Amino acid sequence: MSKNLIILLLITIGISYEVPNMFYTFQLSWPGSICLTKQCYKENVGNYKGQSWAIHGLWPGATNDSGDCEELEACTNNKFKESNLSKTTMTNLDQAWVGFFNPSGSFRAHEWNKHGTCWDEKDDLVPQVPGMNIQEEYFQTTLQLWKSYNIYDILSAAGIKPDDHKFYDTDSILDAIENEIGSSAQLLCTKDSNNKLLLVSVSFCVDEKYEPQRCPCDVYGGIPCGSRKNDKVRYPVFRL
């Protein structure tokens, strides 16, 4: 049995185990690109205003002794319940973490059940309040990251703004983000109906103190773009 499987089993049955070399991948998505390629629905959008990148997730991971990446998934049976979240947190989630093409509640439940159950509550960014449950801490911590690293504002300050017709160099996008966060980032794209690249996700990694660090591994889930090859991408305006 592998070391990492043993770790996951220990976590699952509730035995405390310090996972070495832990990090978190923070991924944000651009709804303008998502809704060009998928059918988005007004009832899923909540209070999203179109001038921010949306949270996709905060994903725990670890590197083993050989430096290989290991995703930590579904570590406990602590299932997501909206009733565990405060009214303030729900209001903020409806601005920052919404489903667009699927119900937001289902999306958040998926992210908690798969990834949040492996989050270490010792590693939060929010003040400890008596009686605060771990789900509230996880979502508040992720929201705080979203506020601290405002990708929309970072790109806008560099003259990179949503535009239905303009193409941007991925080098310029990465430079703007990396100069601001002080570490490397990764971009994922999808393709539009004309087979042109659409910028869909920005990811970067943070350590257990939530300081940006170089990701130990690549982020999957789309077309890697911006690997310093002068890719040209669209960054379209958000519309339903």
Alpha-carbon span 181 to 206, nearest angstrom: 10
| pLDDT at residue 185 tops 70 | yes
Give me the pLDDT at residue 5, please: 42
* Contacts of 141 by beta carbon, 8 Å cutoff, 6+ apart: 58, 119, 123, 124, 125, 126, 210
Alpha-carbon span 27 to 34, nearest angstrom: 14
Alpha-carbon span 168 to 142, nearest angstrom: 28
Give me the pLDDT at residue 24, please: 94
Alpha-carbon span 75 to 22, nearest angstrom: 14
Q: How confident is the model at residue 229 (pLDDT cuts 50, 70, 90)?
A: low
Q: What percent of the chain has pLDDT over 70?
A: 89
Q: What is the DSSP string of 85-144?
A: S-HHHHHHHHHHS--SSS-HHHHHHHHHHHTGGG--GGG-SS---TT--HHHHHHHHHHH
Give me the pLDDT at residue 18, please: 52
Token couple for 51: 């001038």
| pLDDT at residue 1 tops 80 | no
Give me the pLDDT at residue 68, please: 82
Q: Summarize pLDDT for 99-136 with one digit per residue, the tens.
A: 999 999 999 999 999 999 999 888 777 776 767 899 99
What does the pLDDT average to over 167-190? 95
Alpha-carbon span 212 to 24, nearest angstrom: 9
Give me the pLDDT at residue 228, please: 59
Q: What are phi and psi of 107, to 5 degrees?
A: -65, -50
Mean pLDDT of the chain: 88
Q: Summarize pLDDT for 24-58 with one digit per residue, the tens.
A: 999 999 999 999 999 999 999 999 999 999 999 99
